[in-house]
Amino acid sequence: SSELTQDPAVSVALGQTVRITCQGDSLRSYYASWYQQKPGQAPVLVIYGKNNRPSGIPDRFSGSSSGNTASLTITGAQAEDEADYYCNSRDSSGNHYVVFGGGTKLTVL
């Protein structure tokens, strides 16, 4: 399968920890990357590879992977972290090059 599955919505209390997950067969072969998108803006890469953060991304963002599941963890969520989060990976099925998850809407309460 060339699909990545994400929960449509997740909420977290301000300052608490939240994990957003992404499942798919491709994740057994390739690392995921994670993108944050706020309304009216382009996506921003926040985590890639085993657990790498691009320059400028706060260290409260981290990534992990096990089997067919990749996770994005925000430790001490801030109000500005409220956004849509998308995972993606290379497609191991050979049908496509890249596949995106459906996205998770994160609400910070």
Partner 1 sequence: QVQLVESGGGVVQPGGSLRLSCAASGFTFSSYGMHWVRQAPGKGLEWVAFIRYDGSNKYYADSVKGRFTISRDNSKNTLYLQMNSLRAEDTAVYYCAKDTADPSGSYLDYWGQGTLVTVSS
| CA separation, residue 100 to residues 14, 26, 80 (Å) | 28, 11, 23
| CA separation, residue 67 to residues 27, 31, 95 (Å) | 7, 11, 21
Helix (H, G, I), strand (E, B) or coil at 15: coil
CB of 72 to partner 1, least distance (A): 14
Nearer to partner 1, 73 or 100 (CB): 100
Amino acid at 91: D
Residue 79 binds partner 1, judged by CB under 8 A: no
Select from 9, 13, 98, 109 the one that contacts partner 1 (CB under 8 A): 98
Chain positions contacting partner 1, by CB under 8 A: 30-33, 35, 37, 42-45, 48-50, 54, 84, 86, 88-90, 95-103
